[in-house]
Amino acid sequence: MKMIVAVIKPHRLDQVRDALTAIGVHGLTVSEVRGYGRQGGHTEIYRGAEYQVNFVPKLKLEVAVSNDLSERVVEAIRDAANNDQIGDGKIFVADLEQIMRIRTGETNDEAL
Amino acid sequence: MKKRLSNHQVFVGVATTFALALLSYPAAAADVAFSGADTAWILTSTALVLFMTLPGLALFYGGLVRANNVLSVLMHCFAIACLASILWLIGGYALAFGDGGGAQAWIGGAEKWFLLGIGPDVLSGSIPEILFVMFQMTFAIITPALIVGAYVERIKFSAVMLFSGLWLILVYAPVCHWVWGGGWLSDLGVMDFAGGIVVHVTAGSSALLLAKVLGGRRGFPKDLRPPHNPGMTMIGAAMLWVGWFGFNAGSALAADGSASMAMLVTHISAATASITWAFLEWRRFGKSSLVGIVTGMVAGLATITPASGFVGPLGALFIGFAAGVLCHFCVEWVKQKIHIDDSLDVFAVHGVGGALGTLLTAFFAAASLGGMGLAEGTSMGSQFVTQLIGVVAVLVWSVVISFVIIKVVSAIVGLRVEDEEEIEGLDLIAHGERGYDL
């Protein structure tokens, strides 16, 4: 099993969700986060004064998937979130030790 | 306000002792009958002007600070409103509008303490005097509240209360008396329809001084956080715009053509200054911002305030344009050239706007420029000198007395919170609350 974490531009969320649903992913956790990468921050001007905004708003997605689905999920997120611009985000994939569905106690692939 | 001034204009040619006696308030309007229409409009205006502070100004300022200071700003405006109301009842009104006897040129206060003797049947012009008290009270509320913008995010709450109370009695009440209460500036013929001098010059100049003495916010000017909620600022600004109809058109103290014209020119100036500001931002920075356009609106409203009952629509168009340009550049001048962290630009918008409008009144009040006409025997030049004397005298008074007050406040309760507290934010430090779950 893999835990796939993706940081994406907020306005791409719906496309990513649709793409993941289409390949059979049944669950997804989204959080609003702030951070910086190559994009850095940006400058805002209020009443003629410049303010440096160092942390840019992004969405963080967390998806747990079975090993055989992992590569397709990564591809699907990449396709759906890609603007071909700096700041489009990153995808992290990590091994996942255990999963349990709280209600039934089912574990691992059965819990997905 | 208009009533006294128009009396002044009417009687100025009749240099008799009798006429001069009529100049003093409220005897000037003693022969005017009670008017239900006027009373209804001033009742309405009074509510509108209170609405400017609560919640208009509070939201306008609240959106411009960091997220962990928003409640402190709302609290400042609210607490000042309560404090100013009580002080106005006790002695503020007496000092501003009570007869001053031998000291009438300088200060009132020989009568009307605790509003004694002002029953429901006592008239001031064509409205009950108690309504005039209440209408003026809402001006006394918003004026010290305007100064909040200078000291946000770093001042002690006790300092806010002590400063505002002393300031209302020692700066606002005397100036109000000079201009509107039959004092020396009124005798001189200074034209200030709704408070360009009384409200905006006093608040703006005191704000600049207080910001200078207090010092800038941590990180000023390079490392500051942007306004946390421009949407809140726009909501507050829109309330100010509407409330300003009561402020300016209400200052006619009648439901008549003068009030109607005051409302129109107020509106036109606000619209023109807003669009001017937005245009300048677009040309200079590539984008017109919401914070920018509403700041222009406040500049346009503050600038038309002294002129509102005296000028016509075309005058308003010019005044709004001038306000948009001058105040726009003054904001940057204060923060970037003289390096004073007047945080929410009280001086650049209100002080400069109020003074500009007061000076421009000398020209645009003239019938030849579409105004309601200058007093008989007065030229644009001579009126300009009169206006200039008014602005400079009030500016000097405000700064000098404010300086003394600041020293007193500093000695008694101190001005500034500790560095750590400033980082933590005043909401939690001073009031034990938080505006948002962050």
Determine the angle formed by the axes of helices B202-214 and B380-412, rounding to 10 degrees. 40
Answer whether residue B437 is part of any domain: no
Distance from CA of B288 to the nearest CA of A (A): 10
User: What is the Cα–Cα distance from B30 to B40, expressed in whole angstroms?
Assistant: 19
- Range list of β-strands (E), B8-163: 123-124, 127-128
Q: Which residues of A touch B223 (CB under 8 A)?
A: 52
User: What is the Cα–Cα distance from B341 to B345, expressed in whole angstroms?
Assistant: 8
Give residue B319's pLDDT: 98
Give residue B1's pLDDT: 55
Contacts of A49 (CB under 8 A, 6+ apart): B221, B224, B332, B335, B336
Distance from CA of A49 to the nearest CA of B (A): 7
B226 DSSP 8-state letter: P
Answer whether residue B281 is part of any domain: yes
User: Exposed, middle or buried: residue B345 (CB in 10 Å: 0-12, 13-18, 19+)?
Assistant: buried
Q: B287 and A53 in contact by Cβ < 8 A?
A: no
Q: Per the omega criterion (within 30 degrees of 0), is the bond before A57 cis? A: no
Domain count, chain B: 1
First to last CA, chain B: 48
Question: Is a pLDDT exceeding 90 seen at residue B122?
Answer: yes
- Domain with B118 in it: what CATH number? 1.10.3430.10
Q: B292 and A47 in contact by Cβ < 8 A?
A: yes
Give residue A38's pLDDT: 84
What is the interface pTM, i.e. ipTM, of the complex? 0.75
Give residue B290's pLDDT: 97
User: What mean pLDDT is predicted for residues B388-394?
Assistant: 98
Answer whether residue B226 is part of any domain: no
Answer whether residue B434 is part of any domain: no
B200 DSSP 8-state letter: I
Q: Compute the mean pLDDT over every residue in chain B, rounded to the nearest whole number.
A: 93
Q: In the structure, what pLDDT confidence band is assigned to residue B27 with cuts at 50, 70 and 90?
A: very low
Neighbours of B310 (CB within 10 A): 25
Answer whether residue B430 is part of any domain: no
Contacts of B290 (CB under 8 A, 6+ apart): B230, B231, B233, B234
Among A45, A48, A51, beta carbon nearest to B224: A51
Q: Is B2 on the interface with A (CB under 8 A)?
A: no
A90 DSSP 8-state letter: E
CB B159 within 8 A of CB B80: no
Q: What angle do CA B165, B169, B170 make, to 5 degrees?
A: 110
- Domain with A49 in it: what CATH number? 3.30.70.120
Answer whether residue B371 is part of any domain: yes
Helix (H, G, I), strand (E, B) or coil at B267: helix
User: What is the Cα–Cα distance from B72 to B52, expressed in whole angstroms?
Assistant: 18
Give residue B110's pLDDT: 86
Per-residue pLDDT tens digits for A55-97: 889 999 999 999 999 999 999 999 999 999 888 999 999 999 9
The range of the structural domain enclosing residue B320 comes to 2-220+231-425
Neighbours of A79 (CB within 10 A): 11
Structure-model confidence comparison of residues B4 and B427, the more confident one: B427
Residue of A nearest to B283 (CA): A48
CB B143 within 8 A of CB B202: yes
Give residue B2's pLDDT: 47
Question: Is a pLDDT exceeding 50 seen at residue B5?
Answer: no
Q: Which residues of B touch A46 (CB under 8 A)?
A: 226-227, 289, 291-292
The range of the structural domain enclosing residue A107 comes to 2-111
Q: What is the CA radius of gyration of chain B?
A: 21
Per-residue pLDDT tens digits for B66-80: 999 999 999 999 999
Q: B332 and A49 in contact by Cβ < 8 A?
A: yes
Give residue B222's pLDDT: 86
Give residue B105's pLDDT: 96
Distance from CA of B64 to the nearest CA of A (A): 10
Taking Cα atoms as reference points, which of B356, B369, B284, B359 lies closest to residue B320? Answer: B356
Give residue B277's pLDDT: 98
% of chain B beyond a pLDDT of 90? 91
Structure-model confidence comparison of residues A85 and B264, the more confident one: B264
Domain count, chain A: 1
Per-residue pLDDT tens digits for B211-254: 999 999 999 988 888 999 999 999 999 999 999 999 999 999 99
Q: In the structure, what pLDDT confidence band is assigned to residue A48 with cuts at 50, 70 and 90?
A: confident
Among A44, A47, A52, beta carbon nearest to B345: A47
Among B226, B292, B332, beta carbon nearest to A51: B226
Question: How does DSSP assign B19-35, residue by residue?
Answer: HHHHHSTTGGGTTSPP-
Give residue A49's pLDDT: 87
Q: In the structure, what pLDDT confidence band is assigned to residue B113 with cuts at 50, 70 and 90?
A: very high
Answer whether residue B357 is part of any domain: yes
Neighbours of B11 (CB within 10 A): 18
Phi, psi of B119 (to 5 degrees): -85, 180
Q: In the structure, what pLDDT confidence band is assigned to residue B383 with cuts at 50, 70 and 90?
A: very high
Q: B225 and A47 in contact by Cβ < 8 A?
A: no
Question: Is a pLDDT exceeding 70 seen at residue B25?
Answer: no
